[in-house]
């Protein structure tokens, strides 16, 4: 019954001019039962066979963002066993890295999360299916939007000015690159899709893995397209500041070079970004996460805009999980903070069991509210500065790197404690001029990234790219093996491809 449903959807899409959003899952998610439900926020089925309009094209682009959200049940309805309740970066990054544990009080609820935490998982673990599904659904939507926006015949019949078209194209090129960046870091080489699929024949042709190099090349090309199309202004749309901007695209170019250890290019891209003067460190460490300061502060470069009270929902569903006791810090994470570092309690207040940075407030008001308004911050200026600091240190320019780290620490030192009292002036002393070695400077950098970016889903990727994941995680008592630097391809995807998609070694 599910197969016939998939075929019906494919037949309905008679040409690339028609909108078929949920197409990638024909090959990669097998039209599971969640396709019985209308996807949240997408063009409805009765509009699939209509000719595109400006409004439907914009809707298609907007829907491409949705897989970056933490809104509950964007895919399916309470499919815990598929790992799709919400986007699960927190599991594959924060929990896996040893910064976060599943719950404040350990129990048997959702034991598959504990398996990821302990590195005692198999390729059947729902966590991997979840992130794979979210990323490929995002890519599917991006491909549809890109194909339509690049079709001159369609666009000539649509009432849309050239500047708007270019902006929308710049956004979806960025988003496709962003989803592939996540996939290549989690799984290595993956199937590369750059056009909408028409039928099962197309699906089986692409049901094979491209190399990591090919995926990185596509990411690089998409980001270059994005930069060339987006206007040189802080917000690509002042009316909708949540949209991808040229700053976000250049920042992602810097991040790609960081992960490939192209240190000079990291510095060049960050310099290019800084040349626009769009961003700066906020005076208060918590400002980038404060729901009352969204798009009014100076540090956030790219975030997903959660909004309460909309139908369909656009709220931050991760707040519901926190209300159920999920997402607690490990003691090792808490112990990593220096004395009087105010960033600890802005991240998580252990005594009250509140994850302030994730909730968007310091009073816990949204804990348990699946429709909370707190944004998910993906790129902020402090992170970018630390990329540049790392590149300087790796290039042997240690003092330049330490000076940047000191900027981050000075901002933290100048931030009042969460109770409003002043942080002691001798807290978080500067490192520049202390004569540390390159190895010591790298240790400083790694420590600073952990405490500055805690609970922001960066840590596991950092450990892997630094080549220290095995040492760090085995010291935490995890069953980490060297092959765990890549997660297993979801077994269901291998099975549905008829074995054409090969599993990662070790699984």
- 299, 248 Cβ separation under 8 angstroms: no
- pLDDT at position 201 is 67
Q: What is the pTM of this model?
A: 0.91
Cα–Cα distance between 119 and 116 in angstroms, integer? 5
Residue 123 sits at the vertex; the CA angle it makes with 208 and 26, to the nearest 5 degrees, is 45
| 352-385 exposure pattern, b = at least 16 Cβ within 10 A, e = fewer | ebbbbbbbbbbebebbebbbbbbbbbbbbbbbbb
Q: Name 358's Cβ contacts closer than 8 Å, sequence gap at least 6.
A: 318, 319, 322, 327, 374, 455
- Is 1.25.40.390 the CATH number for 258-456? yes
Please say if the pLDDT value at position 28 is more than 60: no
Query: pLDDT averaged over the chain?
Result: 91
Instruction: Name the residue ranges covered by the structural domains of the chain.
Output: 1-229+458-493, 258-456
Residue 170's pLDDT is what?
98
In this structure, what token pair is assigned to residue 282?
């906020």
375-430 tens-digit pLDDT: 999 999 999 999 999 999 999 999 999 999 999 999 999 999 999 999 999 999 99
Separation between Cα atoms, residue 378 and residue 15, nearest integer Å: 35
pLDDT digits 0-9 by tens, 292-312: 999 999 999 999 999 999 999
CA dist., res. 65 & res. 141, Å (int): 9
pLDDT in tens, 333-344: 999 999 999 999
Using DSSP, state whether 259 is helix, strand or coil.
helix
- Reply yes or no on whether the pLDDT at 29 is more than 80: no
pLDDT of residue 200: 64
Does the domain at 1-229+458-493 match CATH 2.60.120.560? Answer given as: no
130-149 average pLDDT score: 97
Please write the tens of the pLDDT for every residue from 450-467: 999 999 999 999 999 999
What is the distance of C-alpha 160 from the center of its chain? Answer: 30
Could you report the per-residue pLDDT of 358-384, keeping only the tens digit for each? 999 999 999 999 999 999 999 999 999
The percent of residues in the chain predicted with pLDDT above 90, rounded, is: 87
**pLDDT at residue 329 above 70?**
yes
Whether 258-456 and 1-229+458-493 are alike in CATH topology: the answer is yes
């Amino acid at each position: 019954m599910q197969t016939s449903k998939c075929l019906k959807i494919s037949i309905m899409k008679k040409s690339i001019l028609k909108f078929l959003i949920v197409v990638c899952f024909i090959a990669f998610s097998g039209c599971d039962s969640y396709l019985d439900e209308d996807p949240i926020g997408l063009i409805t089925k009765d509009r699939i066979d209509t000719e595109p309009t400006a409004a439907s094209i914009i809707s298609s682009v907007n829907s491409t963002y949705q897989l970056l959200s933490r809104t509950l049940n964007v895919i399916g309805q309470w499919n815990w066993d598929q790992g799709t309740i919400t986007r699960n970066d927190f599991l594959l990054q924060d929990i896996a890295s040893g910064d976060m544990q599943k719950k404040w009080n350990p129990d048997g609820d959702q034991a598959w999360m504990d398996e990821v935490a302990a590195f005692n998982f198999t390729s059947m673990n729902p966590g991997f299916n979840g992130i794979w599904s979210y990323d490929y659904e995002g890519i599917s939507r991006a491909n549809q939007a890109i194909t339509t926006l690049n079709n001159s015949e369609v666009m000539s019949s649509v009432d849309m000015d050239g500047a708007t078209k270019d902006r929308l194209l710049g956004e979806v090129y960025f988003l496709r690159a962003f989803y592939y960046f996540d996939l290549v870091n989690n799984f290595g080489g993956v199937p590369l899709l750059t056009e909408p699929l028409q039928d099962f024949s197309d699906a089986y042709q692409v049901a094979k893995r491209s190399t990591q190099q090919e995926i990185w090349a596509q990411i690089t090309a998409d980001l270059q397209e994005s930069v060339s199309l987006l206007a040189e202004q802080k917000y690509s749309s002042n009316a909708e500041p949540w949209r991808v901007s040229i700053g976000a695209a250049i920042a992602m170019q810097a991040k790609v070079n960081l992960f490939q250890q192209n240190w000079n290019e990291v510095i060049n891209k960050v310099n290019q970004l800084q040349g626009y003067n769009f961003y700066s460190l906020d005076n208060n460490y918590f400002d980038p996460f404060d729901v009352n300061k969204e798009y009014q502060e100076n540090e956030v470069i790219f975030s997903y805009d959660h909004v309460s009270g909309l139908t369909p929902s656009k709220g931050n569903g991760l707040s519901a999980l926190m209300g159920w006791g999920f997402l607690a810090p490990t003691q090792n994470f808490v112990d990593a903070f220096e004395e009087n570092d105010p960033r600890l309690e802005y991240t998580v207040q252990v005594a009250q069991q509140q994850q302030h940075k994730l909730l968007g407030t310091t009073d816990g008001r949204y804990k348990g509210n699946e429709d909370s308004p707190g944004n998910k911050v993906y790129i902020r200026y402090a992170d970018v500065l630390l990329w540049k600091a790392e590149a300087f240190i790796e290039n042997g320019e240690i003092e330049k790197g330490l000076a940047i780290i000191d900027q981050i620490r000075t901002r933290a030192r100048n931030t009042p404690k969460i109770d409003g009292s002043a942080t002691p002036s001798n807290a978080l002393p500067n490192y520049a001029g202390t004569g540390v070695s390159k190895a010591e400077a790298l240790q400083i950098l790694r420590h600073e990234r952990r405490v500055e970016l805690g609970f922001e889903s960066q840590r596991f990727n950092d450990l892997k790219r630094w080549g220290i994941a095995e040492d760090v995680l085995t010291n935490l008592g995890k069953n980490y093996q060297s092959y765990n630097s890549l997660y297993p391809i979801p077994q269901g995807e291998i099975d549905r491809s008829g074995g054409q998609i090969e599993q990662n070694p070790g699984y």
